[in-house]
Structure 1
C-alpha cells in the first residue's frame, strides 16, 4: 500500500497530464465528428433542394421560368393599313451611249430671257395651232438631244457662251438619210455660215423648215419636194460640233422662230 502511495505521489503529475491529454483528444474527436455531420447535412441539403422552398423576400406564388424555356420574342408583322394601287412605274434608265448633251444655241442672246443649265429635253409633240397648216413629219427618228428653249438661255459647249436654242437637235448617225419634214419648195441647199451645210424647205403656210447639218444635198434651190423625200445625209453642224452627232431643225415664220415640235401635225 505504501508502494502504491509512493507511486501515485511520484507519478501523479504525469498521470494527470496524461488524463488531460486523453480528455482533450476525445473532445477534439467529438468536435470534428460534430462539424463533419453538420457539413454533410448542409451539403445534402444543397444537392437536393426542396422544390417548395422559396427565397427570402420572394413571393411564394412567383413562378421562375428556366432560361432555356424563355419564349422567343418575335416582331409582329402587321400589314399596311392603306395600300396604293396603280402606281406608275418609272421609265428605265437610258442605255449607255445615249447620254444627253448640252443645248446648243442658234439665235442671239436675249437679255430678258431666263438662264438655265443645258439639258436633254424630251419635248412631247404639240398639236398644230391651225388645222389648215400643211402636214409635216419628223425629219429623223433619233431621240431629242436639246429642245427648243424659247427665250431661255442655254450653254453652247462649242461656242462657250449662253444663248437661246431656236430649234430641236435630233440624235442621228453621220451618213444617215435625211427626209424632208414637209411638202414644199427648196429655198436653200448649201453652206450657211457657221451652220455648215443647210437645206431649207418652205411649206404652203409660208414657214421655212431649216435642216442644219445636211451633207451631200440631193436637191437644189427651186426644187419641189414631198414630205419624206430624201434631202441628203447627216453631216456636221459647225456651231454645235462639240455635241453628239445630230441634225438641227428650225422653223421660221418671217423673222420669228417657232417651236418645231408645236408645228408638226
Structure 2
C-alpha cells in the first residue's frame, strides 16, 4: 500500500478545490459586470458631452419682468426701437376746455366796466388793514369793504359781468354773494335779501342779483350794503381796484 505523501497544501486544495473554483468564478463575474457598467457610464458621459457641444452657444433669454408685463397687458418696446412717433405724440398740446364753465369769465379786465352795486352814500370806507371799532360788536376789527347807504329792499346789481362763485349764509354778514371776474378779481355783496342768482350763474353788468337786506354784525349802522373786493383772494380797496375812486 502506497504511502500518502501529499503535502498539506495539496490536501487542502483537494478538499477545498470546488469552493476555490466557485470563488474565482464569482470574482470573475463581478469584475466583468463592473467593467460593463463602467463602460456604459463612460458611453453616457460621452453622449452628453456631444449633445452639449452640438447646442448653440447663445440662447434666447426672457426677463421674468417682461413675462409679468406681458401677462398684465403691458407692451414692452425692444431696445433700439424707434419711439420718435410716441415722443412726438406725447408732446402734443392738451385740448383746451370748452365754454360753459368758470373759464368763460372775461380774461381782460380793461374790457370790463365796473360800477357800484347801489347808488348810495359812502358811509364807512375800506380800512386798508387798520383796526376800527365795530359799534355793533364792540370790537376792534378791520373793515374790509365799503358801506354804501341804501334802504332795505333797494335793488343790488352786479358790478360787472362775471360768474357767481357762491351764495352763502354767514352768521355775521347775512346772505353773501360772490361773483368772479377776470384776472383774479372777485366782488362780494353782504347782507343780501331775496337772492336772485345761484352758484355757477353767468351774470351781466348791472344785472340785479338781489336786494339790500340785513347785516347782523353792522346792525347799529343805518341800512346799507357792505360791498367788498378781493384780488387773488386778498381784500383790496373796492374803489381804487375797480377804477371807481
The separation in 2 between residues aligned to 1:176 and 1:131, in whole angstroms, is 28
Secondary structure of 1:194's counterpart equals coil
Whether the aligned pair in 2 keeps the contact of 1:190 and 1:217 (CA below 8 Å) is no
The within-5 A match list for 1:48-127 is: none
Do residues 248 (structure 1) and 209 (structure 2) align?
A: no
- 1:205 aligns with 183
Write the deviation string for residues 166-193 of structure 1: whole angstroms up to 9, x where unpaired: 1000000100110111110001123133
Do residues 190 (structure 1) and 168 (structure 2) align?
A: yes
Whether the aligned pair in 1 keeps the contact of 2:176 and 2:188 (CA below 8 Å) is yes
- 2:119 aligns with 141
Whether the aligned pair in 1 keeps the contact of 2:109 and 2:183 (CA below 8 Å) is no
Distance 1:152 1:197, change over 3 A: same
Secondary structure of 1:170's counterpart equals strand
Whether the aligned pair in 2 keeps the contact of 1:251 and 1:260 (CA below 8 Å) is yes
The offset of 1:254, in angstroms, is 2.6
Aligned-residue CA RMSD (Å) = 1.6
Number of corresponding residues: 136
The separation in 1 between residues aligned to 2:180 and 2:109, in whole angstroms, is 18
The separation in 2 between residues aligned to 1:195 and 1:251, in whole angstroms, is 15
What stretches of structure 2 of length at least 5 have no aligned partner? Answer: 1-107
Q: Of 117, 128, 148, which residue of structure 2 is paired with 1:150?
A: 128
Write the deviation string for residues 204-260 of structure 1: whole angstroms up to 9, x where unpaired: 222111000111101000000011000001101111111110000111123311100
Whether the aligned pair in 2 keeps the contact of 1:234 and 1:246 (CA below 8 Å) is yes
Secondary structure of 1:191's counterpart equals strand
Whether the aligned pair in 1 keeps the contact of 2:109 and 2:182 (CA below 8 Å) is no
Whether the aligned pair in 2 keeps the contact of 1:134 and 1:205 (CA below 8 Å) is no
Whether the aligned pair in 2 keeps the contact of 1:170 and 1:247 (CA below 8 Å) is yes
Secondary structure of 1:201's counterpart equals strand
Do residues 172 (structure 1) and 150 (structure 2) align?
A: yes
- TM-score by length of structure 1 reads 0.49
- 1:216 aligns with 194
The offset of 1:131, in angstroms, is 6.7
The separation in 1 between residues aligned to 2:234 and 2:148, in whole angstroms, is 21
What stretches of structure 1 of length at least 5 have no aligned partner? Answer: 1-129
Secondary structure of 2:123's counterpart equals strand
Distance 1:175 1:249, change over 3 A: same
Secondary structure of 1:242's counterpart equals coil
Between Structure 1 and Structure 2, which shows a larger proportion of helix residues? Answer: 2
Whether the aligned pair in 1 keeps the contact of 2:192 and 2:212 (CA below 8 Å) is yes
